[in-house]
Structure 1
Amino acid sequence: MLVTKPNRDADFRCLASSCPDTCCAGWEIVVDEESAARFRAMEGELGERMRAALITVDGEAQLRRREDGRCVLLNENNLCDLHAACGEGALCRTCRLHPRFVADYGARREVMPGLSCPAWIETYLLDEERVTFITEETGDPIGYTDIDAALFFKLYRARAQAIEMLQDRSLTIAERLHRLLTLAAELDSEREEDCSPNGILPAYRKKLALLEILTLQWRELLRQKGGTPYPEAELAPLLEKVLVYDVFRFFLRGVYDGRALPWAKYAVFHALVLRRLSRHCASKKEICEVIRLYSKEIEHNAENQEALHRTLCRRSGRWSMTGLLKAMDE
């Protein structure tokens, strides 16, 4: 199998007990069948804890959470007792991979750590160098994925072109967003109708507020209005990294429905929202926290991501391609 990762993946190091957040609280931790069977067969006191920690929700095994949302295996130092006792290899697939997202396309696997992780924010987002990707061949078995190979490689080539363009610093962010949308629209041979007079920005807060909200910080951020535009020269490098991240992670999903444009719009919407929310930030550190919260609220909630994607599939009105283009000037 060919595995592609960002070049900085090898530099990623978990902050462990020093992390200002924890990936072991706030969301469901799904346990794969192999790990669940292994947990149930463990002996001794730890085995009893593991069996007590396992629950079944909608037919799938999960790790139990306390009332405050923390995994029952997470101790007061924000460390996992299973990891401490048995090592990383003892973890279930979800915990072993986190914060990395993994996508398989036949003989190809793509890996990208999530922007919800403070350690990855430091490693990836604050790196001033352009992002490159490394592909290595591994001995992992090739999974079966029912995709159109011709469409996949068409999207694959277009994505490489898009990532190169998004890191062309002779272009403004607005120019890069315009070119990304145009590339995807041409790829889909799609023409969208004119947008409503108001564009998307008057509606983005309402749309995001209607999704399931995980943290109080995100709710409070969406309630803030006004603010002063953050200097574009300082904001642009962060938006560039976010755009490359989104295009790498999501653009190839167009292979499943034959449409790349909604995923290009997803990246553009993300950038526009961050630019608007940065009005309430006084430093890059605060902007990075907004980026982290967006990832935690949207990327790690399948229902939220699907709801936003459905909205961006619309071909007319404020959520159309032209609606997004208009929002660049708002």
Structure 2
Amino acid sequence: MKHYFPKYCEKFRCIANLCPDSCCRDWDVVVDDTSFDFYNTVKGEFGDRLRSLMTIDEDGDRIFIRQGEKCPFWNSDMLCDIYINLGENHLCHTCKEFPRITQDYTVFCEHTLSFACPEAARLMLESDFDTGFATDIPQDLQTDYSTTEMNFLLSARKRTFEILSDCKMSLSERLCRLLAFNERVQNMLDDEIFDITAMPTDEYKKQSCGDASFIFDLHKSLDIMSKDWLCELEATADFAKNNTLSSRFDRPLTAYLDYYVRRYYLSAIDSFNVISTIKRMVCAYIVTAYELERLENPTQAEVVKILQGYSKEVEHSYENGELLEDEFIFNPLFSTDNLIGIL
């Protein structure tokens, strides 16, 4: 099996207690079966503590019981007691792997990092465009999906990357082209036309369609962990009513949207839905670009915080993902033409 790694994956190291927004806070930590079995063998006071601080949540997952919205093993020095007492090898799978993301497509794997981690976000924002991704696979491989369809998606994704990285255009224009191109790709998927030689164009027509308030309204309805983030969202929504976007932040926003393509585009091999990835990118762009504009001259650390915060609040919730998908499918405000109109 071939593995694809962007260069920033090799550079990542957890910065532990120096992290400005630790993954030991706010989120539930799911304890995998292997770790659970080992924790049941740990003797002494620490073993008793381990076992007393696990429970089953409403989804049926075994988790650590949060204390004050943080992992109970995240100590006052902002370090992990499990790591200290048992070593890195006995962290549960979630803690050992995050923010590393592995996407297994049977005959190849692609690796990336989650933007919800501040250090990973910093590395991705500081990296140049990276070609560490698959572009085609042999047709005769044994897979549980159509290799013809996968090669069609890989070709469409390659073109998507090319449009996104074309800095001769503003990012808003690139997003218009991405919407138009991938709407046509979606139509080909729907009709089961997987002809790479007939790859559609990215030409589009634009008709002004009002403001982006409906995008902010959708985000306000999501499952939000942080009250501070919700307050920022509401302030940004008000700001967006009377202000327009510049291209000052196109570079970091392009890096962020590149991550979206890497992480979500090929999910269409199962969902047969490629346009939703682009619509998620447009939503992320609108919210974060206006937030950056509102700050006028944000530092690099503030840019990282805004993009990382959006990823943490919006991406890492199945409920949020399902709500976004439903709106993209059933709400006409999120039609491709309407989204092109507000960009």
The normalised TM-score by structure 1 is 0.87
Does the Cα contact within 8 Å between 1:209 and 1:219 map onto a contact in 2?
yes
**Structure with the larger RCO, 1 or 2 (CA within 8 Å, 6+ apart):** 1
Partner of residue 210, structure 1: 221
Does the Cα contact within 8 Å between 2:239 and 2:290 map onto a contact in 1?
no
Does the Cα contact within 8 Å between 1:188 and 1:260 map onto a contact in 2?
yes
State yes or no: 1:289 paired with 2:300. no
Does the Cα contact within 8 Å between 1:199 and 1:318 map onto a contact in 2?
no
Cα shift at 1:162: 1.3
Does the Cα contact within 8 Å between 1:104 and 1:110 map onto a contact in 2?
yes
Partner of residue 60, structure 2: 59
Instruction: Identify the range of structure 1 (245-254 vs 117-126) with the bigger mean alpha-carbon deviation.
Output: 117-126
1-structure distance, mates of 2:162, 2:321: 26
User: Structure 1 unaligned runs (5+)?
Assistant: 136-143
Partner of residue 269, structure 2: 255
Does the Cα contact within 8 Å between 1:272 and 1:327 map onto a contact in 2?
no
> Deviations 1:298-325 (Å, cap 9, x if unpaired)?
11111112211221234x6210001110
Cα shift at 1:255: 1.3
> Deviations 1:240-273 (Å, cap 9, x if unpaired)?
1011110110111111221211112111221122
Cα shift at 1:182: 2.1
1-structure distance, mates of 2:143, 2:283: 29
5 Å-filtered alignment, 1:141-152, equals 146-152=144-150
5 Å-filtered alignment, 1:50-199, equals 50-57=50-57, 58-66=59-67, 68-127=68-127, 129-133=128-132, 146-189=144-187, 198-199=209-210
- State the identity as a percent: 27
Cα shift at 1:146: 4.2
Partner of residue 321, structure 1: 336
2-structure distance, mates of 1:252, 1:107: 14
Helix, strand or coil at the partner of 1:240? helix
Does the Cα contact within 8 Å between 1:200 and 1:323 map onto a contact in 2?
no
Q: Partner letter of residue 158 of structure 1?
A: A
State yes or no: 1:265 paired with 2:264. no
Cα shift at 1:235: 0.3
Partner of residue 323, structure 2: 307
RMSD (CA atoms): 2.5
Partner of residue 16, structure 2: 16
Q: Partner letter of residue 37 of structure 1?
A: D
Does the Cα contact within 8 Å between 1:184 and 1:264 map onto a contact in 2?
yes
Q: Partner letter of residue 239 of structure 2?
A: G
Does the Cα contact within 8 Å between 2:208 and 2:342 map onto a contact in 1?
no
1-structure distance, mates of 2:317, 2:79: 23
Cα separation, partners in 2 of 1:101 and 1:76, compared to 1, 3 Å: same
1-structure distance, mates of 2:210, 2:261: 23
Does the Cα contact within 8 Å between 1:199 and 1:319 map onto a contact in 2?
no
Cα separation, partners in 2 of 1:246 and 1:284, compared to 1, 3 Å: farther
Cα shift at 1:31: 1.5
Q: Partner letter of residue 183 of structure 2?
A: A
Does the Cα contact within 8 Å between 1:195 and 1:318 map onto a contact in 2?
no
The normalised TM-score by structure 2 is 0.84
Partner of residue 49, structure 1: 49
Q: Partner letter of residue 333 of structure 2?
A: R
1-structure distance, mates of 2:342, 2:17: 41
Helix, strand or coil at the partner of 1:103? strand
State yes or no: 1:239 paired with 2:253. yes
Instruction: Identify the range of structure 1 (107-116 vs 253-262) with the bigger mean alpha-carbon deviation.
Output: 107-116
Partner of residue 141, structure 1: none
Q: Partner letter of residue 42 of structure 2?
A: M
Does the Cα contact within 8 Å between 1:251 and 1:260 map onto a contact in 2?
yes
1-structure distance, mates of 2:13, 2:319: 29
Does the Cα contact within 8 Å between 1:230 and 1:278 map onto a contact in 2?
no
Q: Partner letter of residue 214 of structure 1?
A: M
> Deviations 1:42-99 (Å, cap 9, x if unpaired)?
2232222221122112332111211x21111111111111112222211111111111
Partner of residue 138, structure 1: none
2-structure distance, mates of 1:163, 1:134: 10
Instruction: Identify the range of structure 1 (22-31 vs 182-191) with the bigger mean alpha-carbon deviation.
Output: 182-191
Does the Cα contact within 8 Å between 1:54 and 1:62 map onto a contact in 2?
yes
Moved over 3 A (4+): 144-149, 194-200, 227-231
Number of aligned positions between the proteins = 314
Partner of residue 140, structure 1: none
Instruction: Identify the range of structure 1 (299-308 vs 44-53) with the bigger mean alpha-carbon deviation.
Output: 44-53
User: Structure 2 unaligned runs (5+)?
Assistant: 135-141, 191-204
